[in-house]
Chains A and B, each alone.
Chain A
Amino acid sequence: MSEERTKILEMLQQGKVTVEEAEKLLAALASPEEAKSATPKTDCKYLRVIVEPGPRSEDQDRVNIRVPMKLIRAGLKFAAFVPKHAHASINQALHEKGIEMDFAQITQQDIEDIVSQLSDLTVEVEGKEKVRICCE
């Protein structure tokens, strides 16, 4: 274990830094090889959304959408065009949905991080309808 890591762990033990702060510091210290291995795989080309009728569903609607990840990245850049005076309305709408987030604080890097993490995403919801979101 390197000296810096030991110091960070000592600071954590002494309560000088929180667990989150220590985690960030350790991540910053990580070697390029470690950082590389920690990066998610980026071989995901498409985001697939499939909606199928459930066993108890009366509707027989089916939706099958395949969106290229590059299109998602390009489309999200348009978020920068949202006027500043609309941020308050967006934050209010998010708050009503129970999401405490400041839209103005989202940076391009955050969006890039979210999209890159989508490669590990698989969502399956089964209720009235079966919804499956995954990467391909």
Chain B
Amino acid sequence: MIPMLMRLKVSRNPNRYGVLLPVFLVWILLFALMIVLLPFVLIAALLTWRSGQGKWLLLTYPLLISVLFHLSGLHIEVENREQNILIAFL
């Protein structure tokens, strides 16, 4: 399932911020951009097909979507004396 929200928490003494970012809005924009770019990608793939790069160019779309769909559950937390940063995809 594609993550809908991103939790961002920054603690920098003495301040603390925590936000839930609606990343689904980013995905909507990204998918719209991908659709707009699709004809150009197809043309580029056709032009570079003989060199063997066209195939990989076509594969970028499913691979990118695959990465985005599996971002859910990613949790990164970095902490030191001064600050603490947490990024988590929900």
Complex-state Cα separation, A77 to B62, whole angstroms: 11
With both chains docked as a complex, state the minimum distance between the C-beta of B50 and any C-beta of chain A, in angstroms: 15
Knowing A59-B80, A77-B63, A80-B59, say if A71 contacts B75 (CB, 8 Å). no
Instruction: Rank and list the top 5 A-B pairs by shortest CB-CB distance, nearest first.
Output: A66-B75, A70-B70, A74-B66, A64-B77, A71-B70
CB of A78 within 8 A of CB of B78, answer no
Complex contacts, B20 vs chain A, CB 8 Å: none
- Bitwise, A25-64 to B at CB < 8 A (1) or not (0) is 0000000000000000000011000000000000111111
9 A-B residue pairs with CB within 8 Å: A60-B81, A63-B77, A64-B75, A68-B73, A71-B70, A71-B71, A74-B70, A78-B67, A80-B56
Contact pick for A71, options B59, B74, B79, CB 8 Å: B74
Q: Is A75 an interface residue (CB 8 A)?
A: yes
Closest to A80 in B: B56
Contact pick for A46, options B73, B77, B79, B80, CB 8 Å: B73
Q: A residues near B, CB below 8 A?
A: 45-46, 59-68, 70-71, 73-75, 77-78, 80-81
Complex-state Cα separation, A80 to B63, whole angstroms: 11
Complex contacts, B74 vs chain A, CB 8 Å: 66-68, 71
Q: Is B37 an interface residue (CB 8 A)?
A: no
Q: Is B28 an interface residue (CB 8 A)?
A: no
CB of B70 within 8 A of CB of A61, answer no
Q: Is B33 an interface residue (CB 8 A)?
A: no
